[in-house]
């Protein structure tokens, strides 16, 4: 078998300890493709739901996986656990531009919500 065709058994742990996306994946799959699959499987009853793959970060062995890199390029190794499942962590972080816009809107709302009464 070629190096990029090895299969990995993965599961992904989200912020509250719930595991999603458990399955077997090829080492030739990219982090962006994994995120897309996770986005489609994301439990909708959670308080935090990513809007797009750009809101998600995958962590393996203390490092963020880059969207364009495959699991093999990211050095997710088959030999790490003999017959075991590799757990990756998923962090949901809304994009920075959205947060800036939200702060500006909140500031405008604060400015317009004041009222004074003179007697």
Chain segment 51-74, per-residue pLDDT in tens: 898 999 999 989 999 999 999 999
pLDDT at residue 114 tops 90: no
Domains, the chain, ordered by start:
3-112 (3.10.20.90)
Read off φ and ψ for residue 107, nearest 5 degrees: -65, -40
> pLDDT for 12-45, tens place per residue?
999 899 999 999 999 999 999 999 999 999 998 9
Please give the mean pLDDT across all residues of the chain.
81
Concatenating the DSSP letter of every residue in 51-86 gives SSGGGEEEEETTEEPPTTSBTTTTT--GGGSTT-PE
What lies within 8 Å, CB to CB, of 37 at 6+ separation is 21
Q: What is the pTM of this model?
A: 0.70
CA 5 to CA 7: how far, in whole Å?
6
């Amino acid at each position: 078998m070629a190096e990029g065709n090895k299969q990995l058994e993965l599961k992904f742990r989200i912020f509250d300890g719930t595991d999603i996306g458990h399955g077997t994946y090829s080492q030739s799959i990219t982090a962006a493709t994994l995120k897309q699959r996770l986005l489609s499987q994301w439990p909708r009853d959670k308080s935090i739901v990513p809007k797009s793959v750009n809101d998600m970060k995958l962590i393996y062995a203390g490092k963020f996986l880059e969207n364009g890199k495959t699991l093999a390029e990211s050095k997710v190794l088959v030999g790490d656990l003999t017959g075991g499942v590799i757990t990756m962590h998923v962090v949901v972080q809304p994009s920075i531009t959205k947060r800036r816009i939200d702060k500006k809107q909140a500031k405008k709302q604060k400015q317009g919500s004041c009222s004074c009464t003179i007697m």
